[in-house]
Structure 1
């Protein structure tokens, strides 16, 4: 009976529908045999499970085996009573099956959640990879744009650092080749905007000059923004050409023709090159206008300088050197002319500032001085009247000047200064004196002043140097060391050198004084040598 119960529990644990068959056979002695057959369900039988069979002895009716108690009249009831925990086992097995089904469903839901989470993570990974790729592209594009802007900024600095037209034209290819172009040609028109020798240039360059629009000449269209496509150049059909006009507000200056460093340009590179050409046009226009104005200024300056008179027994030599920066025109000036009494009046002056305004004011002062000298005024009186004239004519403009009068037949020099460096006098024996008597204040300042005259004995063989501060003043050392250097240079001449050639003497005097000059100011020198 115990083995039958165990077998039944195994069947219940396996699940499915098991067929239990009980067969009782009686014996003559009053007992019998119980045959138990347990048949597996069809699926188990198909898997090789065979029926299980067992035989049990049935005790005599009314008695249980080994006891005096009456036996059950029903053998099945007796068999099931032999294993009382079968029902409990079945109940627990049902509970376990329910629990297993619950966990199976829970596991299924968990698996579904895990699958959904994996799908979300995969989508998030794809989105992240897409974002990283977009960020890398954006960074690369930003870096490329930064390099283009840096190139344009650096190129603007280089192009605008000079006002020399030839130097700017020379620098244009240096800025472009080889990073942005394999070749760069600059075609400049003349000052009237005329196209010089158009036949020697590509047809696209000629079209760019005449239409004012960039042209791209190649076998295949370039698709560049703001650029017209043209057939390849007959002069060089295998080389793509980008022809950009150099435009200004007044007239086109020329055409910049470029060849790509590779097969072709990217659209953004073409936009950068067109902007580069625009900035180059501004620099070229500024340089051309500057050179034009400089030529006018130098012509005006030379026209305003005086031709020195021929005076018996007195040699004059003058030098005017414009500043090397700016328009090369300033307010430094010299003059020498005869007075009504036959005396020689020499003057060196300096109007503050540079440019055409200073030059015009210098011309007016020179004219006023000659007019005032008609009434035999002394140098101090002439400067006083010039002070009043300038103060009323141009209250915001000032000037310095020194005037020296040489009297015919008299060994005397009369001079006066207004805010100007002192004259330097070389005596016949080679000694040099700086005539540093107290000068007047600058001309034109809002101050009433009467500028005094000074006299100095003048022996034959003496030399007087009048000059402006540009000759002796240095920013780091002031003006006094420069005056001392001028005096030493003037004293270094041999006695006969100044008599023989005053012009060469003027050049020799300037040479040591200009060796350390930055030439940021005009320089004026007037030598007056009285022959022995």
Structure 2
């Protein structure tokens, strides 16, 4: 009995839409078999396969766009702005699972009152989350030209989300550092608080909290502290430590302990934490560490 072999290929350059593929068939039955091609449902098989593959191709295209947005708008370490008086290290690691497209971001911006740093995360995993992430980051860059107070900036970002994306919420932690005095003002909007590592290996979370962006709730005054020359300030997104089935407070304590035991230096701190927690994560990871230069 003859057999039909079907090979379906989609060109790498083709858009993920119906019909963007080729179908090649061969028939190894008897040479005198003259049955029409329709006897072998290759075309139907090809169409069914293309329909089944279409959602996967469309998702891959969406993920590629999201990753392009993230890589384009999150500056790489060699492209960070020059910030006098501050040493800064950042890390960004996309989720290991292709089903997750995150809205994690970081920023380091010069202002008239010092250096503003931010780490945040748009709630959700989609191209929309990545797009809103870009909007928040650009809005922050625009706002801090005239305003540097972390609480005021959080309020402006909150109003922006409510106006343009009322269905979206986001977290962000903002820190304004005066390199001349070491004075830091920190405002938090539903995010993991920063960790401050003091000389001698002590590590503790800054006691700062506040509601998520996008909820139109009142915001507390920023928390103030002084960063000494030997101190380091660490800001991360929850993708670094959040694990299914593990309470977040437990994961936060594990992070604090690992940070306290990390070697001196900003690169060593970030690399140690990625080595401890950064494998096979279900969410993106954004990390920022700084100290006085």
| TM > 0.5 | yes
Report Cα offsets for 1:258-302 as digits up to 9, x if no partner: xxxxxxxxxxxx55x765544333344444443333333222210
The aligned counterpart of 1:318 is 90
The structure in which a higher percent of residues are strand is: 2
Report Cα offsets for 1:180-235 as digits up to 9, x if no partner: 97x96746252356xxxxxxxxxxxxxx95xx7966464022636724xxxxxxxx
Tell me, yes or no, if structure 1 residue 308 matches structure 2 residue 56. Answer: no
Tell me, yes or no, if structure 1 residue 476 matches structure 2 residue 240. Answer: no
Tell me, yes or no, if structure 1 residue 492 matches structure 2 residue 261. Answer: yes
2:65 match: secondary structure:
helix
Give the counterpart of 1:441 among 208, 211, 234: 211
The aligned counterpart of 2:198 is 427
In structure 2, the gaps of 5 or more residues are 15-20
Alpha-carbon deviation of 1:485?
A: 1.4
1:440 match: secondary structure:
coil
Q: Which has the higher contact order (CA 8 A, sep 6+)?
A: 2
Rounded Cα–Cα distance in structure 1 between residues aligned with 2:236 and 2:24: 55
The aligned counterpart of 1:520 is 282
Q: Residues 404 and 290 (structure 1 numbering): CA distance in 2 closer, same or farther, change over 3 Å?
A: same
- How is 1:228-267 mapped onto 2 (pairs within 5 angstroms)? none
Rounded Cα–Cα distance in structure 2 between residues aligned with 1:290 and 1:448: 35
User: Does structure 1 conserve the Cα–Cα contact (< 8 Å) formed by 2:179 and 2:292?
Assistant: no
Give the counterpart of 2:267 among 500, 503, 506: 503
Report Cα offsets for 1:71-111 as digits up to 9, x if no partner: xxxxxxxxxxxxxxxxxxxxxxxxxxxxxxxxxxxxxxxxx
User: Does structure 2 conserve the Cα–Cα contact (< 8 Å) formed by 1:298 and 1:328?
Assistant: no
Q: Which of the two has higher C-alpha Rg? A: 1
Rounded Cα–Cα distance in structure 1 between residues aligned with 2:250 and 2:292: 27
Rounded Cα–Cα distance in structure 2 between residues aligned with 1:479 and 1:304: 29
The structure in which a higher percent of residues are helix is: 1
Rounded Cα–Cα distance in structure 2 between residues aligned with 1:525 and 1:287: 30
Q: Residues 412 and 394 (structure 1 numbering): CA distance in 2 closer, same or farther, change over 3 Å?
A: same
2:176 match: secondary structure:
strand
Q: Residues 296 and 429 (structure 1 numbering): CA distance in 2 closer, same or farther, change over 3 Å?
A: same
User: Does structure 1 conserve the Cα–Cα contact (< 8 Å) formed by 2:259 and 2:269?
Assistant: no
The aligned counterpart of 2:18 is none
The aligned counterpart of 1:297 is 66
Alpha-carbon deviation of 1:393?
A: 1.9
2:255 match: secondary structure:
helix
1:450 match: secondary structure:
coil
User: Does structure 2 conserve the Cα–Cα contact (< 8 Å) formed by 1:320 and 1:524?
Assistant: yes
Q: Residues 192 and 511 (structure 1 numbering): CA distance in 2 closer, same or farther, change over 3 Å?
A: closer
User: Does structure 1 conserve the Cα–Cα contact (< 8 Å) formed by 2:100 and 2:283?
Assistant: no
In structure 1, the gaps of 5 or more residues are 1-179, 194-207, 228-269
User: Does structure 1 conserve the Cα–Cα contact (< 8 Å) formed by 2:7 and 2:24?
Assistant: no
Report Cα offsets for 1:41-72 as digits up to 9, x if no partner: xxxxxxxxxxxxxxxxxxxxxxxxxxxxxxxx
TM-score, with structure 1 as normaliser: 0.49
The aligned counterpart of 1:332 is 104
Q: Residues 475 and 217 (structure 1 numbering): CA distance in 2 closer, same or farther, change over 3 Å?
A: closer
User: Does structure 1 conserve the Cα–Cα contact (< 8 Å) formed by 2:105 and 2:121?
Assistant: yes
Alpha-carbon deviation of 1:350?
A: 0.8
Q: Residues 393 and 222 (structure 1 numbering): CA distance in 2 closer, same or farther, change over 3 Å?
A: same
Range with greater deviation from structure 2 (370-379 or 454-463): 370-379
The aligned counterpart of 1:221 is 33
Tell me, yes or no, if structure 1 residue 190 matches structure 2 residue 2. Answer: no
User: Does structure 2 conserve the Cα–Cα contact (< 8 Å) formed by 1:348 and 1:401?
Assistant: yes
Give the counterpart of 1:466 among 227, 235, 243: 235
The aligned counterpart of 1:282 is 51
- How is 1:383-402 mapped onto 2 (pairs within 5 angstroms)? 383-402=154-173
Rounded Cα–Cα distance in structure 2 between residues aligned with 1:311 and 1:365: 21
Tell me, yes or no, if structure 1 residue 529 matches structure 2 residue 291. Answer: yes
